[in-house]
Chains A and B, each alone.
Chain A
Amino acid sequence: MLDFDFACPTSLADAIEVLAAHNGSARPLAGGTDLIDYLRTGRLSANMVVDLKRIPELRVLTCGDNGLTLGAAVPCCEIYGNEQIVKNYSALSDACSIIGGLQIQSRASVGGNLCTSGPAADSTPALIALNAQVQLVGKGGSRSVAVEDFCTGPSANVLQPGEIVQQLTLPAPAAGSGSHYRRFIPRNEMDIAVVGVGASVTVADGKITAARVGLGAVAPKPLFAADLSQWLVGQPTSDATYKEAGERARQIISPIDDHRGTAEFRTHVTGVLVERVLREAVARATA
């Protein structure tokens, strides 16, 4: 691995200072499951690596009536190990429990998954479904973006040089809500999504009253299926609804052919997964 220097600030202000001082040549480190491999293979370079895991604001995890606040460096295992998140933000715990194996889940963070900005990131469609806001902070101050607007393409996002994700905020789910994330992979575990679908729904009297659907690995960035989500409002919780939703999802994606699957296959699987994920999200909402 090429040489770099290392800093381990314990305050947000110190982290911002050291990142700003390197004008984009410093790399923030959370779980390191992407970064350390990228530095080793030369895919990324760094003069300075800044470990963010000892900054309290990036390790916060509070879940209550005001919603969920999730520090960017909180590892996956703390997320699926939290009963309130499993119950109220199921799509997120579903995603975190299938990212890599146990060893990756001990270290990898949702904030890091977002910042790597892979089109097939498992946690991002779940965050889209759960309507997450991303809080960014840098030398110029802080700002907030909707999670579906964070990624701009493969490995690209809205972060400016020296800027980091501080935390994610997810609104408290309304009564009668449920969510789910599921992906298709050729193996049983430890693989990258061929298609990933996250959905959250609110159900009352047999009808969907609110919905958000996020799609992964079928476009240059994770997609918020806005029109589909809007169409679902008012629909009955029936197999016909889920099937039609799957068909509508197939119309808005632009998948690629690669060794994991052809565009044709991804298009087919997108419809199947949307159908199944909605059915499960509704089952959880009405359980």
Chain B
Amino acid sequence: MATQRVVTATINGRERSFLCEPRQTLLEVLRDVLSLTGTKEGCSNGNCGACTVLLEGKPVVSCLVLAVECEGQSIETIEGIDTKDGLTPLQNAFLENAALQCGICTPGFIMSTKALLRDNPNPTEEEIRFKLAGNLCRCTGYDKIVKAVQDAAQRRCGSGCGCNG
């Protein structure tokens, strides 16, 4: 067996070190080593987007990232989205627009939407549908998700944290 490695990364703003094998994906390590089970496993081959996290600020599917690649990098997961004051406007928009049913896809949608609204604060419906095509939902039919993203774009996070959510 290949030697386990110590990897140090900033996860949700906090520097953390963990042990992993080279063959372990970031998804496996988040869930099984770090107990950050908010990130969901869907297809495990990069198609569904359920396991989306932000790596160095960019949305990636954590099933197609090796945890050892993340040495020295910053990772943001769904657990890092809310604030001490509770849910962010982005989360509330999903909740109040009923943009979820079973909820497996929701953490991935929230992470992708965070990156989308950061780069494009006022996307059109077409842009939302195109940019979120890497996230699949088998329950909602997408319309409520698109409405939630439009709603989130209208709400502005008042904390000044720049999260756009």
What residues of chain A have their CB less than 8 Å away from a CB belonging to chain B? 1-6, 8, 29, 32-33, 36-37, 39-41, 49, 51, 53, 77, 100-104, 106-107, 188-190
C-alpha gap A5/B55 in the complex (Å): 22
> A101 to chain B: which residues have CB within 8 Å?
49, 131-135
Whether a CB of chain A sits under 8 angstroms from the CB of B140 is: no
> A32 to chain B: which residues have CB within 8 Å?
64-66, 69
Whether a CB of chain A sits under 8 angstroms from the CB of B58 is: yes
> B112 to chain A: which residues have CB within 8 Å?
102-103
> A2 to chain B: which residues have CB within 8 Å?
23
> B22 to chain A: which residues have CB within 8 Å?
3-6, 49
Say yes or no: B46 contacts A33, CB within 8 Å.
yes
> B52 to chain A: which residues have CB within 8 Å?
103
> B21 to chain A: which residues have CB within 8 Å?
3
Query: Could you say which of B1, B45, B129 contacts A37, with CB atoms under 8 Å apart?
Result: B45
Say yes or no: A103 contacts B23, CB within 8 Å.
no
- By size class, the interface of chain B is 35 or more
Say yes or no: B2 contacts A3, CB within 8 Å.
yes
What residues of chain B have their CB less than 8 Å away from a CB belonging to chain A? 1-3, 5, 21-25, 44-47, 49, 52, 55, 58-61, 63-66, 68-69, 71, 112, 115-116, 129-135
C-alpha gap A189/B1 in the complex (Å): 40
Q: Which residue on chain A has the smallest CB distance to residue B130?
A: A189
Shortest Cβ gap from B129 to chain A (Å): 8
C-alpha gap A107/B52 in the complex (Å): 12
> B69 to chain A: which residues have CB within 8 Å?
8, 29, 32, 51, 53
